[in-house]
Amino acid sequence: MSFPGKDPIIVCGAGPVGGVLALYLAREGFNIVLLEKEKTLPEDLRASTFHPPSMDMLDRLGLMPRLIELGLIVSKYQYRDRRTGEIAEFDLSHIKDETKHPYRLQCEQWRLNKICCEELSKIPNAKVLFDHDVIKVIDQDADGVNILVKTPEGEKTMRGSYVIGAEGANSMVRQTSGLQYGGFTYPEKFLVASTPFPFEKFLPRLAGVNYVSDPDEWCVVLRCNNLWRVLFPTSPNDSNEKLLSDSHIQDRLQHLAPKKGDYEIGHRTLYNVHQRVADTYRTGRILLAGDSAHINNPLGGMGMNGGLHDAFNLAEKFLGIREGKLEVNAALDLYDRQRRLTATKFVQEQSIANKKLMEEKDPDAQKKRQADFMRQAADPGLAKKFLLRTSMINVVRESYTIQ
Ligand SMILES: Cc1cc2nc3c(=O)[nH]c(=O)nc-3n(C[C@H](O)[C@H](O)[C@H](O)COP(=O)(O)OP(=O)(O)OC[C@H]3O[C@@H](n4cnc5c(N)ncnc54)[C@H](O)[C@@H]3O)c2cc1C
């Protein structure tokens, strides 16, 4: 039987990972069904940073001009010490010879999801089905996988030649295939609040992305279109109601930039912070990608970006198999190794280290951390090395060397 088989490839979840994977495969002529449990695409406050290698990949699908139009190019980002006022500023032009996109793009992830679904609607061999909630994997055999899906007409069995679980951290594909999601969840949650307040007028030299250390409370200040988003850690002893209350968010914003009167608050989100990786990304004809396969804290912006790198790696394996250049089992197992080892060895370690670094309370250690950033930012060679690592260029390259 020709690859991938007579049934379509079913991609579960129309988030950035499922959307991009479905689009890539559909454009290459594969029959694709993309299942999304929501009735319409959610516009939630989640990832907003696209790193250079992700943009280089999305460019291959022709998506970058529209994303750039909808987002904000940030060519410098900062580590700021509020106590001393010192600023270490990294200029991404140092990596201009390594990428077509030597900047971060600040753009909400839901905008990419919408673009993918719009593009898929133009492709005859692709179907996007909203209000289709994947309940479980029923079974798989030599030619395909059967899944149970809750639809507006009731529960249905659907069959795919392959089923890809890209439905986020609570993936039912992963859970009902018996795959483990090992790791841990931090006791504290992160709070994100957005405001139209012009922080740039009150915090000198503010860049589009700023990691701010402070003896009492660190935070991340990000620009996204006409809003600033601020991410704060919280205490595990406080209730969700308190953490999401106006008075609590006002206090936190006033601590960052004291001003007369209240802040106007836009969105607010409180979320659990996990560090987990599935024990395998493949079991037979079932594959995992994105948050369903791995999850990490958002410091460094590597969750969605890592998921997009999964999507491209997996799509390339499907193409290679169809063209007869790769053997099916070897190629899909290689996808698992390349992406899982990358998540475990780099993304988990780096994101855990990023969180520890931001949380550091010891004044001497804080001073040393800032001095290290300042030294690297000021030296073009060191800055380039730093940026190749933090922009995920190195890790994507290294992932393809794993055999
Ligand atoms: C506040 C916050 C900030 C973040 N910032 C960044 C950042 O700056 N950079 C970064 O790289 N990452 C960031 N992340 C992480 C990033 O949001 C995720 O890694 C990313 O959303 C993963 O994409 P995904 O497509 O795998 O899953 P998701 O985005 O979770 O998409 C899953 C999709 O599947 C659908 N779905 C769920 N269950 C089912 C089901 N049973 N059946 C059918 N459909 C289903 C959902 O409705 C959703 O549309 C952040 C996360 C948070 C919470």
CATH, residue 20? 3.50.50.60
pLDDT above 90 covers a percentage of the chain that reads 87
Give the 3-state secondary structure of residue 131: coil
Q: What is the pLDDT of residue 1?
A: 62
Q: Which of 74, 73, 65 is nearest to 115 (CA)?
A: 65
Per the domain annotation, does 303 fall within a domain? Answer: yes
Q: State mean pLDDT over 337-346.
A: 94
Quote the CA–CA distance of 336 and 289 in Å, as a whole number: 9
pLDDT above 70 covers a percentage of the chain that reads 100
Per the domain annotation, does 123 fall within a domain? Answer: yes
Give the 3-state secondary structure of residue 121: coil
How many CA atoms lie less than 13 Å away from 401 in the CB half-sphere? 5
Dihedrals phi, psi of 141, to nearest 5 degrees? -135, -165
Quote the CA–CA distance of 321 and 138 in Å, as a whole number: 26
Angle at the Cα of 316 (from 312 to 320), degrees rounded to 5? 175
Per the domain annotation, does 242 fall within a domain? Answer: no
Q: State mean pLDDT over 100-128.
A: 97
Q: What is the pLDDT of residue 45?
A: 80
Smallest CA separation from ligand 1 atom 2, residue = 46
Residue 151 contacts by C-beta under 8 Å, 6 or more apart in sequence? 129, 131, 132, 133
Per the domain annotation, does 230 fall within a domain? Answer: no
Per the domain annotation, does 246 fall within a domain? Answer: no
| Tokens linked to 219 | 């935070």
Per the domain annotation, does 337 fall within a domain? Answer: yes
Q: State mean pLDDT over 9-35.
A: 98
Residues in a beta bridge with 160:
145
399 confidence band (pLDDT: 50, 70, 90): very high
Smallest CA separation from ligand 1 atom 38, residue = 167
Q: Is 252 exposed, middle or buried (0-12, 13-18, 19+ CB in 10 A)?
A: middle
Q: Which domain holds residue 28?
A: 9-73+104-183+274-359
> Which of left, alpha, beta for 269 (phi over 0: left; psi -120 to 50: alpha)?
beta
- Write out pLDDT tens, residues 174-196: 999 999 999 999 999 999 999 99
Per the domain annotation, does 85 fall within a domain? Answer: no
Q: Which of 86, 92, 76 is nearest to 370 (CA)?
A: 86
Quote the CA–CA distance of 272 and 261 in Å, as a whole number: 31
pLDDT at 120 over 80: yes
Mutate which of 177, 304, 342, 348 for ligand 1 pocket (most atoms within 8 A of beta carbon):
304
- Residues 195, 253: contact at Cβ < 8 Å? yes
363 confidence band (pLDDT: 50, 70, 90): confident
DSSP 281-321: SEETTEEE-GGGTEE--STTS-HHHHHHHHHHHHHHHHHHH
Across the chain, what does the average pLDDT equal? 95
Q: What is the pLDDT of residue 346?
A: 87
Ligand 1 pocket, residues with Cβ under 6 angstroms: 12-18, 35-38, 45-49, 109, 133-134, 166-168, 172, 192, 269, 271, 290-291, 298, 301-305, 307
Mutate which of 167, 346, 350 for ligand 1 pocket (most atoms within 8 A of beta carbon):
167
- Chain centre to alpha carbon of residue 112: 12
Q: Is 96 exposed, middle or buried (0-12, 13-18, 19+ CB in 10 A)?
A: middle
Q: Ligand 1 mean position to 312 CA, how many Å?
A: 17
Quote the CA–CA distance of 67 and 69 in Å, as a whole number: 5
CA dihedral 66, 70, 75, 80 (to 10 degrees): -150
Residue 388 contacts by C-beta under 8 Å, 6 or more apart in sequence? 95, 98, 394
Q: Return the number of other C-beta atoms located less than 10 Å from residue 36's C-beta.
A: 25
Quote the CA–CA distance of 59 and 103 in Å, as a whole number: 14
pLDDT at 215 over 80: no
| Tokens linked to 106 | 């600040």
248 confidence band (pLDDT: 50, 70, 90): very high
Q: Which of 78, 71, 70, 75 is nearest to 101 (CA)?
A: 75
Question: Which residue would you say has higher pLDDT here, 44 or 140?
Answer: 140
Question: Which residue would you say has higher pLDDT here, 362 or 23?
Answer: 23
C-alpha separations of 191 from 158, 235, 301 in Å: 38, 10, 15
Q: How many domains does the chain have?
A: 1
Ligand 1 atom nearest 49 alpha carbon: 8
Per the domain annotation, does 385 fall within a domain? Answer: no
In the block, tokens 């499907």 appear at 318
